[in-house]
Structure 1
Amino acid sequence: MPGTPRAVAKFLSVLSSWLPSLRTRFVLLVAGLFVALSVVMIVVASYLDLHDEEQRAVSDARAIGITVSRLAVPHLTNHHYLILEQELESIAAGGLVAVAQVMDPARAVTIDSDPETSYFDDIETHPLIQLVMETGEEQTRQTPDLIEIAIPVHDMAKGDLLGVSLVSVERKQTDGMLFAIWSRNMVIAGVLLLFCIPVTFHFADNFLRPIKALTQTAHKVSEGSFDAPFPVERTDEIGVLARAYRDMVGRIRDNMAKIHELAFIDPVTGLANREHFRQHFTNSILNENGQPNRLSVLFIDLDRFKRVNDSYGHDHGDALLKEVAKRLETLMVSKGLSSDRSGQAVGPMNQAANPELSSLVARLGGDEFAIIVPARNPVTNIYALTEDLVQCVEQPLEINGLTMTVGASIGVSTYPDDGEDYTAILKNADIAMYAAKRTGGNRASFYNEIERNSWSRDRIRLEAELKNALLRDEIAIVFQPKVNCETTQVVGAEVLARWNHPERGMIAPGGFIDVAEESGLINRLGDRVLELACQQGRIWLDEGMRMPLAVNVSIRQLEKPGFDRRVLDILEHTGFPADQLQLEVTETVAMADPDRVAAVTKPLLDAGITFAIDDFGTGYSSLAILQRLPFNTFKIDRSFVWGIGEDQHSDSIVQTILAMAESLNYEVVAEGVETEEQRDFLRNNGCSTAQGFLFARPMPAAHFDAWLERHASWQPGGAAFQKPYFAA
C-alpha cells in the first residue's frame, strides 16, 4: 500500500521513544520475532495437520472400501445377496460408514446398507460405480460432507470383475479440526514462549553488560573524569569500540590540556595570562559566606624595556621577560606567597594557607605583569612587597651574554576599597602605575594615595565624562587642508578630533587623547573619528568633490585584534573609497614593532589605503626598518618646521629628511607651516605638500566648504588655487 513504509518507520520511531532501554528493546525484539515465528509455525502446522487429517480420512475410507470388496467376493460368486446385505447393514450400523453398496453387474443387482431397501428394489446406479464399470479402476470423490470410494471386486482366482463396492464416509467438519489443531499448536507455542522470555532476559543481560559498563564510563568522561577505565580487554566488537573510545578520550585529554595552556598560560613566560588572571581574581573576591575578601592587585610595567627590544631584538626581549617572570615567582615563594602555574594552594601574607585567598603572578601582555595578593594588612605588607619587587627587577640581568638592566613601575589598587569589580581594580592599578612612571618610574604608587590629589580627581572625572561623550555623540571632527607647495592646490585634508564638552566647550585632542589611551577608550574614539571622516568624505564625493583624507591611528588601535577588519567595515558602510583614505601612524609607534605594524597594515594596503609616518624626525628611524614598512609619506614634525630660517640645525634636519624621502621615493608633508619664508624654503628644497596656519586652521566641514569658496582665487606668493581640481 502507498505510504506503508513511512507509516511503519513512524510507528517504530514512536515505539523507540516509548522504549528507551536497550535491554527492553532487545527482549521485545526477540519476543516479537518468536511470536511472529510462532504464528507462521501455527499456520503452516495447521495446514499440514489438516491435510494429514484429510489424507487419513481418505485412507480409512479406502481401507473400509477394500474390506467391503474382499468381503463381497464369495457372496457375489455364490450369489448370497441376503447375507451380503446383512453384513453391509452391520458395517453401516457402526456409524463410521454412511453408505455401503455392492453391485453385481451380471444380474444388475445392487446391495446396500440401507435397511429400508432390498436388493430386489430398483436402485439407481451410483456414478462412481458406473465409472469403475467403464474403466475397471478404483475411483474416489470428495464432497464437503462425504468421502466416496468405488473399488472393483475381482475374482481372486480368475481375476474376473465380479462387481463394484462403494463406500461413503462422512468427512469431519473443517472448523472443528482447525480449532483442535490450533489449540494444540498454541499451547505448544505458549509453553515455548514462557521458556523463551527468561532465557532472553538472561542472554540480554549478559550481552548488554559490557555495553552498560562502557556507557557508565562514557558518563564519567562527560563529567570530566578522563581517567575512567574502559573494558579494553575484550576481543569482540565491544572491545574494539572501547579501545577506540579510550584512544579518542586520550586525544581529547591531550587537546584539552593544550587548549587550557593556550587559553590560560602565557606562551613566552609560562605564567598565567590575562584571562587566567581575571578568572582567578573573580573567583577569589568572595569568601564562603559571601563576604568580600581583601585583595590587592599589583600592576607592574617594566621601565626601559623598549630600548632592549629596539636595540637587541625580540629574542633578547623575550629572554628578559622570562628572567623577570622567574624573579617575580621566586620572590613570591620566598615571601610565603607561592603560587603554582594553575593559581592553586597558596597562602595569604603572614597568614595560614587558605585556598580561597591565593596569590597569582601573571603576564598581561607586552612588558606588563600583574600580581594578586591577599591584603589582610596592605599598609605594612604590600608596601614592603612592592619595594622588594622593585629591587628584584632592577638587579642586572644576564641575557645571552649581555648585561641588561630594567626597572619596574608598580601601581597598586585594593579590592573592595578602590573598586567594585575586576575591571575597576585593574584600571585603577593601571592609573597608579602611570602615576609611578610620571614621577620617574622604578617605584610603586598606590591608587588610594594618588586619588587624594586634584590631578587624579580631574583625570578620573575626565575619563567618566569621555565615556559619556562617546555615548552621547559629543565627538566631532575638523579638517585642516593640505596644500601643494608649488601650485597651492588643495590636495587633501587631515582629520582631527574635537570633544564638544557641554561645560568646557570645544576641547582639542591634547586634552583627552592621553586619557583615552590609558583607559582603553582610544579604540572606540578612533573608530568614531574614522567613521565621521569617511561619512563626510562620501558627502563631498556625492557633491562632485574628491577630497583625500588623512586620519591618525594610535598604537592601541593597531594592537587590538581585528583593526583592519573594522577599518574596511567602516569604508564599506560609508561608501568612502579606500584609495582616498590615508592613515597616519607616529614614528615612535612605527619603529616600536615594525613587524607587527607591517602585518596589521597589509590587508589595508591591499585594499588601497595609504599610510604616512607622522611626527617624522622625532624618533629613531633606521633605513633598514623604513624599507620594511608600508609607508609612502613622511610628515615632518612641526618642531623642525618652526625653526626654519631661525635655526640652522632645523634647516639641516628638514633638508636631510627631504633628501632621504626623495631617495626612498616618499612623499613629504610639512606640518605647522605659518610663514611665507617656511613655505618657500620647503618648496625650494623639494617638499611637495604643506599644512598649517599659513593656509588655514582646522575647521568643521561647513566652514571648510566656505573656506574653499572664499579662497579659490587667493594667491600667496603669486600662485592661485585651481578650482577645477575639485571636480570629480
Structure 2
Amino acid sequence: MPGTPKAVAKLVEILSTWLPSLRSRFVLLVAGLFLVLSVVMIMVASYLDLRDEEHRVVADAKAIGATVSRLAVPHLTNHHYLILEQELESIASSGIVELAQVHDPGRAVTIDSDPATSYFDEMEMHPLVARALATGADQLRQTQERVEIALPVRDMASETVLGVALVAVKRVPVNGTLFAIWGRNIVITLVLLVFCVPVTFHFAESFVRPIKALTQTAHTVSDGNFDAPFPVDRRDEIGVLARAYRDMVATIRANMARIHELAFVDPVTRLPNRECFRQHFNANMVDGAGKPNRMSVLFIDLDRFKRVNDSYGHDHGDALLKEVAARLQRLLEASGCACRNDSGLQKGGCEGDQAKFAPLVARLGGDEFAVILPTDKPRNSVYTLADDLVQCVEQPLEINGLTMAVGASIGVSTYPDDGSDYTEILKNADIAMYAAKRTGGNRACFYSEIERDSGSHERIRLEAELKRALLRDEFAVVFQPKIDCTSMKVVGAEVLVRWDHPERGMLAPGAFIDVAEESDLITRLGDRVLELACEQGRAWLDRGQRLPLAVNVSIRQLEKPGFTRRVLETLEMSGFPAELLQLEVTETVAMADPERVSEASRPLLEAGITFAIDDFGTGYSSLAHLQRLPFNTFKIDRSFVSGLGTDKHSRSIVQTILAMARSLNYEVVAEGVETLEQQAFLMENGCTTAQGFLFARPMPADHFEAWAKAFSGRSRQASGTTTRDGTISAA
C-alpha cells in the first residue's frame, strides 16, 4: 500500500513524544496491530471452537455408545437384563446422557436407563435401533437438542450381532456455547497481547529460527528419513539438543531394524517368518489394474524330523532346519525364482512390492516351510518345482558329523482357484500336505486333485461346525464309574465328552476328536471339558459326595504354552480339590515326548494332581522312561480286556501288565470290562479297579447320581454291610 512506511514512521514519531521508552513504544505498537487482527482471530477461533465442540459432543456420544455396547455383550449373552438396566441408569445419572437403551432382538426386550420403565414394558422400537438391526452398521442422528447414536452389540468372538445399544447425549444451547467461546477467546487474546507478543518479537531471531530448523529436521525424520542432517555444529543449547536428537535417531534406527528382524525374520533359519509370508501374500493378491494375481502356495512339512529332533536334541534339529532352509533357497535361486537383498529377505518381501512380485520362501514354524510364487497357465512349472523340492530335501544331510535323512510332504494350493484369501489358501495347502502324508509322504499333492474327495470336505465342514459348537457351548460331559471289584463300591469316574449336535444329535468323541486334533481346536475343547468336570465335581463335593475324576489330555494340550497354568486356574476357579483330579495321557503321547510330559506335569504333581497312562499296552513304553514319568496308574486298554475269555495272548499281556504295575507300585484300572468272566480274571490277577458296560455306560451327572444310589443299594444288599464313608454312595 503506497505511503504505508511514512504513516508508520509518523506514528512512531508521535509515540516517541508520548512514551520516551523504546520498549514501551514497541509494546504499544505491537498491541495496536494485534488489536486490529483480534476481531478476525476471535471470529475464526470461535467458529473453529464451535465446530470442535460439535465434534466433541458427537465423539462423546460415540464413546459412550461403544462403552454401552461393550457392557451389554455379557449381559445379552447371559440375559442379565436387571444388571444391565442398573448399569444404564448409572450411566444416565451423570447428566450428560439423556437416554441409554439396549435392545435384545432375540427376546424382543428393550432395557433403558429410565427408572420409571422396566424391560418388561412393551416399548416402541426406536427408528435408529431398527436401522442398526437391519444394516448391522452404526447409525447417527443429530438434532439441535441432542445427538443420538445406535451401535450394534457384537459378540467379541464370533462378531454375531446380539442386539443394539442406543445413546442420546444432550447438546449445550448454541447461544450459551458461543458466549463461552467468545469470552474465552477474548481473554486468551488479551493474555497473549500482554505477555506473548513482546517475548515472541524479542526472541524471534536468536531462538525461534534455529528451533524451527530443528523442528523441520525432526519432521523429516518422522517421515522416515533417518539421514536428515542436524545442526550439531552449534555450541549453545540448540547444539546440545541437536546432538541429543541425532543420537536418539541413531538408536531408533537401530531398534527399528531389530524390531523388523524380530517381526519378520525366523531366528533359526534367517528366512522370512509366517507374518512376513502373510503380508507378502496379501500385498500381491491383486496387480496394478486390480485383477487377481495368480500365485501358488507350497506348504512343506518335513517327514521324520521329530524323530531326529528327539534322538539327537534340539541343536541338531536346528542345524538340520538351517541346512534345509539353505537348500530350499538355493533351489529357488537356481530355478530363477528368488533372490536376496542385503537384509536377507527376498525382494518384494514383507512390504510386498506389487510392481516386482517376487517368490518367497519362509519358515512358518516347527518343521513347516512355505513357498509362494507367481503361477501361469499351464502350471507345469509348479509341478516341476514341487518335485524338485521333494528331491532336494530327501538328499542325506551331514549335521555335526552325522548323516541324517528327512523327507518332505508338500501341499499346493493356487490363488484364486482354491481360495479367496490368505487363510483359505494356506488351509487348503495344509489339507493337501496332509493328503500327501496319508499316501506315504515324501511327495507333493495339489489341493485341486483332492477337492472332490468327500472325506476332505467333510473334515472341513466338521471343523467349521466344531468352531461354532465351541462358541455356542454345545459340548457336555458324561461320567463312566470306576468300580472297586472287591468291595463293589464306586471309587471314581472317567469324564468323557459328548457333542450335542443340533442336527445329528449326541455325538461320541470318535466322530470329531480327530478333526479337533488336526485343527488345534482340541486345546479349547480340552479346556472346556476340564472346566465342566471340575464344576460338576465341586457340585458333588458341596453335597457331601467326594468323587475322584479322571480327564483325558491330548498331546496338543501338553504342547500348548500355558497348559499347566490353565489347569491350576480351572481348579482355583471351580474350587475342585487338586487331589481329586487325575489327568490321563495315552501311552503313545507319553512315550513320544517324555521330557515334555514330565516338564508339564511337575507343577501339577506338586499341586496334588495325579497322572495315569491311558490305553497302556498299545504303545511302545520304555521302562527307563516309565520310571522317570510322573504316573502312578496304568489303564489297561479295552482291546486286551475284551480278549480275556478266549485269547491266551491277551491274558498273558494283561498278566504281564499287572506284574509290572506291582513291581513299579502302580495302580491299575481295566477298561472295557463287559463280562463277569473278565472281572473274575482281573480280580484273580490282582486288578481290583475296573470300568465298563458290565457296571454302567457313560451317563450324564444327574443319571450318574441316581445310578450310584441304586448301585450302592444293591452292593449293600449283596454284602450285608453298611457304607459310612463320604463317597458318592461309596462313590
Same fold, judged at TM 0.5 (above): yes
1:242 and 1:188 mapped to 2: Cα distance? 35
Matching residue of 1:186: 20
Contact in 2 for aligned 1:338/1:346 (Cα 8 Å) = no
Matching residue of 2:150: none
Q: Classify 1:460/1:188 alpha carbon distance in 2 versus 1 (closer, same or farther; 3 Å).
A: closer
Matching residue of 1:234: 234
Matching residue of 2:698: 698
1:650 and 1:717 mapped to 2: Cα distance? 34
> 1:152-301 counterparts in 2 under 5 A?
186=20, 190=24, 201=201, 204-301=204-301
Give the superposition deviation at 1:497: 1.5
Give the superposition deviation at 1:227: 3.4
Matching residue of 2:580: 580
Contact in 2 for aligned 1:578/1:608 (Cα 8 Å) = yes
Give the superposition deviation at 1:569: 3.9
SS of corresponding position for 1:711 = helix
Q: Classify 1:598/1:712 alpha carbon distance in 2 versus 1 (closer, same or farther; 3 Å).
A: same
Contact in 2 for aligned 1:488/1:720 (Cα 8 Å) = no
Contact in 2 for aligned 1:481/1:493 (Cα 8 Å) = yes
Matching residue of 1:435: 435
> 1:531-610 counterparts in 2 under 5 A?
531-610=531-610
Contact in 2 for aligned 1:534/1:574 (Cα 8 Å) = yes
Give the aligned residue type for 2:240.
Answer: V
> 1:63-212 counterparts in 2 under 5 A?
186=20, 190=24, 201=201, 204-212=204-212
Give the superposition deviation at 1:236: 3.4
Contact in 2 for aligned 1:672/1:692 (Cα 8 Å) = yes
Contact in 2 for aligned 1:498/1:507 (Cα 8 Å) = yes
1:556 and 1:324 mapped to 2: Cα distance? 26
Matching residue of 2:147: none
- Report Cα offsets for 1:149-202 as digits up to 9, x if no partner: xxxxxxxxxxxxxxxxxxxxxxxxxxxxxxxxx977635655687999999858
Matching residue of 2:306: 306
1:328 aligns with 2:162: no
Matching residue of 2:174: none
SS of corresponding position for 1:712 = helix
- Report Cα offsets for 1:292-337 as digits up to 9, x if no partner: 2222221111112222122222222222222111111111111211
Q: Classify 1:423/1:572 alpha carbon distance in 2 versus 1 (closer, same or farther; 3 Å).
A: farther
Contact in 2 for aligned 1:397/1:404 (Cα 8 Å) = yes
Contact in 2 for aligned 1:713/1:720 (Cα 8 Å) = no
Contact in 1 for aligned 2:411/2:432 (Cα 8 Å) = yes
- Report Cα offsets for 1:58-97 as digits up to 9, x if no partner: xxxxxxxxxxxxxxxxxxxxxxxxxxxxxxxxxxxxxxxx
Give the superposition deviation at 1:658: 4.1
Matching residue of 1:507: 507
Contact in 1 for aligned 2:672/2:691 (Cα 8 Å) = yes
SS of corresponding position for 1:186 = coil
Matching residue of 2:77: none
1:525 and 1:241 mapped to 2: Cα distance? 57
Give the aligned residue type for 1:345.
Answer: K
SS of corresponding position for 1:233 = coil
Give the aligned residue type for 1:212.
Answer: K
Give the superposition deviation at 1:450: 0.9
Contact in 1 for aligned 2:264/2:276 (Cα 8 Å) = yes
Give the superposition deviation at 1:407: 1.3
- Report Cα offsets for 1:473-513 as digits up to 9, x if no partner: 33222211122344333221111112233443332212211
1:289 and 1:720 mapped to 2: Cα distance? 88
SS of corresponding position for 2:20 = helix
1:662 and 1:424 mapped to 2: Cα distance? 52
Contact in 2 for aligned 1:345/1:355 (Cα 8 Å) = no
SS of corresponding position for 2:583 = strand
Contact in 2 for aligned 1:412/1:445 (Cα 8 Å) = yes
Matching residue of 2:480: 480
- Report Cα offsets for 1:688-723 as digits up to 9, x if no partner: 533223322222222222221221144599879975
SS of corresponding position for 2:379 = helix
SS of corresponding position for 2:613 = strand
1:684 and 1:249 mapped to 2: Cα distance? 80
2:251 and 2:216 mapped to 1: Cα distance? 20
2:253 and 2:480 mapped to 1: Cα distance? 59
Matching residue of 1:707: 707
SS of corresponding position for 1:420 = coil
Give the aligned residue type for 2:574.
Answer: T
- Report Cα offsets for 1:539-591 as digits up to 9, x if no partner: 22222212222222222223333333433443344333333222222233333
Give the superposition deviation at 1:261: 2.4
Q: Classify 1:438/1:192 alpha carbon distance in 2 versus 1 (closer, same or farther; 3 Å).
A: closer
Q: Classify 1:669/1:727 alpha carbon distance in 2 versus 1 (closer, same or farther; 3 Å).
A: closer
Q: Classify 1:631/1:245 alpha carbon distance in 2 versus 1 (closer, same or farther; 3 Å).
A: farther
Q: Classify 1:257/1:192 alpha carbon distance in 2 versus 1 (closer, same or farther; 3 Å).
A: closer
Q: Classify 1:386/1:649 alpha carbon distance in 2 versus 1 (closer, same or farther; 3 Å).
A: same
SS of corresponding position for 2:289 = coil
Contact in 2 for aligned 1:274/1:363 (Cα 8 Å) = yes
SS of corresponding position for 1:496 = strand
Identity fraction in percent? 71
Matching residue of 1:390: 390
Which stretch of the first structure deviates more once superposed, 224-233 or 188-197?
188-197
Q: Classify 1:385/1:696 alpha carbon distance in 2 versus 1 (closer, same or farther; 3 Å).
A: same
Q: Classify 1:235/1:645 alpha carbon distance in 2 versus 1 (closer, same or farther; 3 Å).
A: farther
Contact in 2 for aligned 1:459/1:515 (Cα 8 Å) = yes
Q: Classify 1:308/1:505 alpha carbon distance in 2 versus 1 (closer, same or farther; 3 Å).
A: same
SS of corresponding position for 2:481 = strand
Give the superposition deviation at 1:342: 6.3
Matching residue of 1:76: none
Contact in 1 for aligned 2:613/2:635 (Cα 8 Å) = yes
Contact in 1 for aligned 2:658/2:668 (Cα 8 Å) = yes
1:547 and 1:721 mapped to 2: Cα distance? 21
Contact in 1 for aligned 2:550/2:584 (Cα 8 Å) = yes
> Which of these two proteins has the greater Rg computed from alpha carbons?
1
Give the aligned residue type for 1:408.
Answer: A
- Report Cα offsets for 1:228-255 as digits up to 9, x if no partner: 3333333433333333333333333333
Give the aligned residue type for 1:186.
Answer: P
Matching residue of 1:461: 461
Q: CA RMSD in A?
A: 3.4
Contact in 2 for aligned 1:431/1:518 (Cα 8 Å) = no
Q: How many residues get paired?
A: 542
Give the superposition deviation at 1:726: 4.3
Give the superposition deviation at 1:448: 1.8
Contact in 2 for aligned 1:278/1:422 (Cα 8 Å) = yes
SS of corresponding position for 1:695 = coil
* TM-score, normalised by the number of residues in structure 1: 0.67
- Report Cα offsets for 1:104-144 as digits up to 9, x if no partner: xxxxxxxxxxxxxxxxxxxxxxxxxxxxxxxxxxxxxxxxx
Q: Classify 1:509/1:235 alpha carbon distance in 2 versus 1 (closer, same or farther; 3 Å).
A: same
Contact in 2 for aligned 1:671/1:692 (Cα 8 Å) = yes
Q: Classify 1:724/1:298 alpha carbon distance in 2 versus 1 (closer, same or farther; 3 Å).
A: farther
SS of corresponding position for 1:427 = helix
Matching residue of 1:451: 451
* TM-score, normalised by the number of residues in structure 2: 0.67
1:272 and 1:459 mapped to 2: Cα distance? 30
- Report Cα offsets for 1:637-670 as digits up to 9, x if no partner: 3334444465555455445544554455443333
Give the aligned residue type for 2:226.
Answer: F
2:319 and 2:440 mapped to 1: Cα distance? 25
Give the superposition deviation at 1:441: 1.2
Give the superposition deviation at 1:391: 1.0
2:655 and 2:716 mapped to 1: Cα distance? 23
2:708 and 2:259 mapped to 1: Cα distance? 59
Q: Classify 1:199/1:540 alpha carbon distance in 2 versus 1 (closer, same or farther; 3 Å).
A: closer
Q: Classify 1:506/1:190 alpha carbon distance in 2 versus 1 (closer, same or farther; 3 Å).
A: closer
Matching residue of 1:370: 370
1:225 and 1:721 mapped to 2: Cα distance? 89
Matching residue of 1:140: none
SS of corresponding position for 2:323 = helix
